[in-house]
Amino acid sequence: MLVEESEDTEKPERSKERVNVKGKRRYSREEKRKGKLLVESALDSKDESLVDGSVSDVELLAQEVNLSDEKPSKKNNRRTSQGRMERFRDTARQNASRFAHFNTQEEDDNILSMEAESEIPSEELEEKGVEDWPGSFSTAMKIIRDRAANLNVRQGSSSSDKVQSLQIKWVPQKCKRKDWSKRLPPSLLDLSLRVLVDNADAIASLAHVPDALRHKLCHMLCDSRRMNSNFFDLLLNGSPTEIRLKDCSWLTEEQFTQCFEKCDTTNLTILQLDFCGHCFADYNLPSTLARSPNSLPALTTLSLTGAYRLSDAGLSALVSSAPALRSVNLSQCSFLTHSAIDILATSLASVLLELFIDDCQSIDAMLVLPSLKKLEHLEVLSVAGLESVTDSFIKEFLIARGDGIKELILMDCWKLTDSSLKIIAETCSNLRALDIGNISKLTDTSFGYLASGCRSLQSLKLCHNAFSDDAIAAFLEMSGEVLKELALNNVGKVGLNTALSLARRSRNLVSLDLSWCRNLTDEAMGLIVDSCLSLRVLKLFGCSQITDVFLYGHSNAKVEIIGLKLSPFLEHIKTPAQGPFQYSSV
Amino acid sequence: MKRKDTVKLISADEMEFIIDKDAAMVSQTIGGFAEMELGEVTFPEISAVILEKICQYFYWALQYSRGKETEFHIEPELTLELMMAPNYLHT
């Protein structure tokens, strides 16, 4: 409101700059509205995608909101005292960050809405389908379309007709039962763990405690912020084999150095020190982890996320002390450059199975390409958040290494288009898991490629993508049987067709994320949950349209619904594989 | 108590605990054993103190699933050992 007022008063005062600034202002106001909606959804989905590292996006959007809130008050202060040029400079300054971090999805939203206005008839789309999509996918699409009595897929008055013609027949259970989870008593293991976490300081020794239980304890201690150096000492006592700390932000440099200096690392196979930037730098490496070449002879899995002070030289020292490394996670190590990956490729070309370089902003994807191609047995590659990942990167890398790749994480690589998905489908025949969240340029054509190409896909993660209900439904009809994990977070067009296909095809689905899918009704949810008998986890953040009719009416006793009522959800954030690698065995 | 409705659990130091079959069913492992054998299961790795606590847990879990929800108190000194036993018992 305030913005509009101030703009009106400022209008007569401007002269030649009026057009530009006005144009800018109008655009930014629209953007601001859109920006606000996006912020809400991003901030809420942050809760459930903490691990994804999309925190940077949220912070950017939060800054935008702050700026837009500051705008009216700032203008009131400045208007009277300073001149016109100051005002323009202020406006430019305030708007600059928004333009600098241009959100491509907003551009796409504009494009999509323009398309809707021009009302492309579905026949034309089908024609395009025959040309672009592989045969069976276009058949599947046709079946989905014929499900609805009306052919016009675009929004408008037709959507209400479509709802009527697609009747989802699901009747909730007659007897209302209480929350099922309360009936199951907590296991003795959970009870003991809770007592231990409460009394962690009293634990004298962790000898004979198996690694899996140690990890659970660490996980719970880190979550409740009770982790401290005493417990860390206990973990490092003796000759530990596995250490998994999901949060080392409490650890100081001195504590880290002291504890690790006396640790016997000869049997250490897994070392995970996430968020270790505070305690970990090049200069305390020689006394702790990189004591000598081969000081970590058995280390196969290393995770040092957030080590923002680790340089290429430091990594080189690490690699020389751990020659058997097969899985390396260097996410958010912002100091590393492509030379670091060169080092990895030179020493570990024949053994490296998994590489995670999420958000390593100093790494240029194209420069890293030659090194990546040298990794002969790479199974898992994560380049989430790297803006330099383009279609040509994907093409060149996968043509060389695609047949061995089992998991590809491309979240936030917003430059990618459908042609990358085409390459993925053609080269990655063994692909088990794919994450293409936040890539707004992808269209339904990608689903066509995926359905025909990646037949063993077990995990598919989407987020904020622009796919249509029909395309997802058709994909599920073709590939739904094998799917175990599906995330359709904020894929706004998901609707009844997807629900029907999920119910019919997804026998093996274990985890489903339908957060922010507002077109799904209670009946649709009920049908999905009652038909997918393997389903154990259902995330429904932001689905305020779901009521108790579904919550207490569904008959699937084993599914856990997260995100609607107040329920502990941190426990369901994916913990890393218990073994050293995701797909291979040692 | 009739003999058929009970299961005998024997600890490492040869203390015997006789409990209802319903209670023993809380543990999937014991439930499986009890079907096959004479109704006796030996646990050479679990001491009497821990086994006693485990039996108490079985009864508590039974009560809980029948609606009576109370606290199950565990002495901190027992917890480390107690934590490792269920791993084996699938409780």
Q: Supply the pLDDT for residue A452.
A: 87
Residues B5, B39 contacting (CB under 8 angstroms): no
- pLDDT at res. A568: 60
Question: Do residues A223 and A357 share a domain?
Answer: yes
Strand bridging mode A537-539 / A560-562: parallel
Q: Are strands B16-20 and B6-10 parallel, antiparallel or unpaired?
A: antiparallel
Whole-Å CA distances, A85 to A13, A14, A19, A88, A93: 12, 10, 15, 5, 12
In three state form, how does the secondary structure of A491-517 look? CCCCCHHHHHHHHHHCCCCCEEECCCC
In the CATH hierarchy, which top-level class contains the domain B4-82? alpha beta
Residue A233 near residue A209 (C-beta atoms within 8 A): no
Q: Verify that A212 and A359 share a domain, yes or no.
A: yes
Whether A546 and A565 have beta carbons less than 8 Å apart is answered as no
- Cα–Cα distance measured from residue A515 to residue A523, given in angstroms and rounded to the nearest whole number: 16
Domain that holds residue A556: 458-579
**Smallest Cα distance from B56 to chain A, Å:** 11
Residue B61 sits at the chain A interface (C-beta within 8 Å): yes
Q: Nearest-CA neighbor of A550 among A12, A176, A209, A223?
A: A176
Handedness of CA A343, A384, A355, A417 (dihedral sign): negative
Structure tokens at A239: 């000759």
Q: Report the residue of chain B nearest A190, measured CA to CA.
A: B83
Give yes or no: residues A476 and A358 share one domain: no
Residues 189-208 (A) with a CB less than 8 A from some CB of B: 189, 191-193, 195-196, 199, 202-203, 208
Whole-number pLDDT of residue A139: 81
Contacts with A235 (C-beta within 8 Å, 6 or more apart), sequence order: A206, A214, A218, A243
- Residue A329 phi, psi dihedral angles, 5° rounding: -115, 110
Cβ–Cβ contacts within 10 Å for residue A170, how many? Answer: 21
Give chain B positions within 8 Å (CB) of A188.
54, 57, 61, 82, 85-86, 89, 91
pLDDT value at position B85? 80
Say what the alpha-carbon torsion angle A430, A578, A490, A65 is, to the nearest 10 degrees: -130
Look at residue A168 and tell me if it is in a domain: no
Query: Is B4 exposed, middle or buried, given 0-12, 13-18 or 19+ CB atoms closer than 10 A?
Result: exposed
Q: Three-state SS for A568?
A: coil
- In 10 A of CB A77, how many CB atoms? 11
First-to-last CA distance in chain B?
25
pLDDT given for residue A473 in this prediction: 92
Q: Would you give per-residue pLDDT tens digits along chain A (586 residues)? A: 444 444 444 444 444 444 444 444 445 554 555 544 444 444 444 444 444 444 444 444 445 444 444 444 444 444 555 578 888 888 888 777 666 655 554 544 444 444 444 333 333 334 344 345 566 777 888 777 777 644 334 433 434 433 444 567 777 765 555 554 456 778 888 888 889 999 888 888 888 888 988 999 999 999 999 999 999 999 999 899 999 999 999 999 999 999 988 889 899 999 999 999 999 888 888 888 888 888 999 999 999 999 999 999 999 999 999 999 999 999 999 999 999 999 999 999 999 999 999 999 999 999 999 999 999 999 999 999 999 999 999 999 999 999 999 999 999 999 999 999 999 999 999 999 999 999 999 999 998 899 888 889 999 999 999 999 999 999 999 888 999 999 999 998 999 999 999 999 999 999 999 999 999 999 999 999 999 999 999 999 999 898 888 888 888 888 888 888 766 655 556 555 567 787 876 6
Q: Are residues A465 and A558 in the same domain?
A: yes
Does residue A469 share a domain with residue A362?
A: no
Judge: A209–B83 Cβ closer than 8 Å, yes or no: yes
Contact flag A195-B79 (C-beta cutoff 8 Å): yes
Q: Is residue A17 part of a domain?
A: yes
Count the domains in chain A: 3
**A213 and A347 inside one domain:** yes
d(CA A512, CA A485): 6
Record: contact A183-B54, CB cut-off 8 A: no
How far apart are the C-alpha atoms of A374 and A396, rounded to whole Å? 12
Residue with tokens 């997807």: A498
Residue A357 CA to residue B38 CA, distance in Å, equals 57
> By C-alpha distance, which of A412, A477, A415, A423 is closest to A445?
A423
Residues of A in contact with B54 (CB under 8 A): 188
- Cα gap A540→B27, rounded to integer Å: 32
DSSP character at residue A185 = P
B49 min Cα distance to partner chain A (Å): 15
DSSP A539: E
Task: Determine whether the interchain pair B60/A185 forms a contact, defined as Cβ–Cβ distance below 8 Å.
Answer: yes
Identify the pLDDT of residue A352. 94
What whole-number distance in Å separates Cα of residue A344 and Cα of residue A325? 9
Residue A295: both structure tokens together: 């000081």
Does A258 fall in a domain? Answer: yes
- Is this structure's pTM higher than 0.95? no
CA distance A49 to A369: 28
Summarised one tens digit per residue, pLDDT across range B53-89 is: 988 988 888 888 888 888 888 888 888 888 888 666 6
Strand order in the sheet with B6-10: B16-20, B6-10, B40-42
Q: Is B71 on the interface with A (CB under 8 A)?
A: no
- A371 and A463 in a single domain? The answer is no
Q: Note the helical H segments in B1-91.
A: 21-24, 28-36, 48-65, 76-89
* B contacts of A193 (beta carbons < 8 Å): 83
A125 lies in some domain:
no
**Mean pLDDT of the region B37-58:** 85
Decide if A224 is inside a domain: yes
Helices (H), A182-252: 188-198, 211-223, 229-236
- According to DSSP H, which parts of A390-505 are helical? 391-401, 418-427, 444-453, 469-479, 496-505
Could you tell me how many CB contacts below 8 A there are between chain A and chain B?
Answer: 54
The two tokens of residue B47 are 């001491």
B86 with A188: Cβ contact below 8 A = yes
Q: Would you state the structure tokens that stand for residue A541, as one six-digit string? A: 């953040």
